[in-house]
Structure 1
């Protein structure tokens, strides 16, 4: 049973990247998984939501409830993991001095000359993989009614929201003029399709230099470039987070060409998906006016 943080000698980037690749190769796009029914993954005991790439790693598992526990939490509750069940990886950053990082790789956002963020992991189990969990911790049979923000609420309350126009029958964000153009709502198949498209363009807009100054947007490189592809993945992952938050589902069709395109990107760069998910989380924090916090910098749930 693995109940501690992962060995720093392991290439955690490569392990996680391969898991995403494995899903793509069987035709599943992890960031397009509709997580609406189960909600975004969270820790059962602390109630803390997982962030960044951990949303993708845990949210795409298909459990009826997206609540997870560490081995220590299970033990503290006098519960146990069901026989034969395997845990799931959660990654986090551990700050160490430069001379201690010979077996590690930098965080995508590492910028300190004296310290670097070392990528590590720990293991969690879904609540359905456990038994003898005290009743008070178990998800209610009749799920509590939780207020879900409407799509319009998200748009109206986005800080520094760009002007949204409906002058052309196509969707795009103009970085130079800082506005979003959308087709008229009635021209799309559903409200879900309209807001999914609008969310995509608004995530792009968070990269403007007066907002997050995201270089994959600011550089405004041509279609097909690495920078362009990164910005597109940021927008797609961010859109999925917002879809789950607002309770709408994706109507996107996963074409073979689409999957193969991302497969190649991930095979060429093991950091690609990490950088994209990290930037997508920052974009959503900005849109929701949430004070940005560091991605899981230490396995806090381990010690609850």
Structure 2
């Protein structure tokens, strides 16, 4: 079977799943450490959007501990913010009650039981966002030792020492790392992602994954994103990323997933397309329904991504043989 037919077969499989729809929710192929963002001094849980923002910051910086402090709190605890540290905005909602003062409406901050009583009475409550810059405890030196201890975390029930590398896939990634356009790959943290600003792929340690195929499916997905860099295939979703959940973001995710499927199939690793991946794409593909050709363009871009990495490795192979001759 030609590679074009292999690409078409995989594309048809994913398109059929998208059209049929898949029940269930997205599950990462490895077991993540479970934690919620908390204020390290008060022990209070951060709320709403702050959980997402702190999670994104942990992914970006590779933090392992989901504890946060304001600069003032850090100073009060004897800590010192590390030079060059980037803060994370933490938001909270502050309630206000509308009252009449001298015949004029005025907003006041509720005290004591005022908020509870107003809610019980069905009175209108106005909520206003407030925010402040917070720092992860790993960005702060000289805090008490207990501040650095992980919170609400359970270690992965992944493969552990039982991980058995798939030789062809391992060799391909290794050669990509030492090619003329070397892949920057690091293993740390609990989230797999491609960081365009640093132009690097970040993966959790292999033993965190539930299966070997889960690991390789994920790394080829992130390598797919890597090919979208300005210096490579210059895809819009990477070069001009706008926001999570946008049509541009959904399209780029589809390209990365297809490229991973193509590469796995090319290596003879004929995996069944994971339902959690399909559901993830299906959630985003809704925003692409205004363009019925989007799936085909995504498949073309994915094939181009695979051709790019294959060319790098093919060019590198003769040099390897020559060096040991």
More helix by share: 2
Which TM-score band (shorter chain)? 0.3 to 0.5
Larger Rg: 2
Query: TM-score normalised to the size of structure 2?
Result: 0.44
Specify which structure has the bigger relative contact order, considering alpha-carbon pairs within 8 angstroms and separated by 6 or more residues.
1
Query: TM-score normalised to the size of structure 1?
Result: 0.46
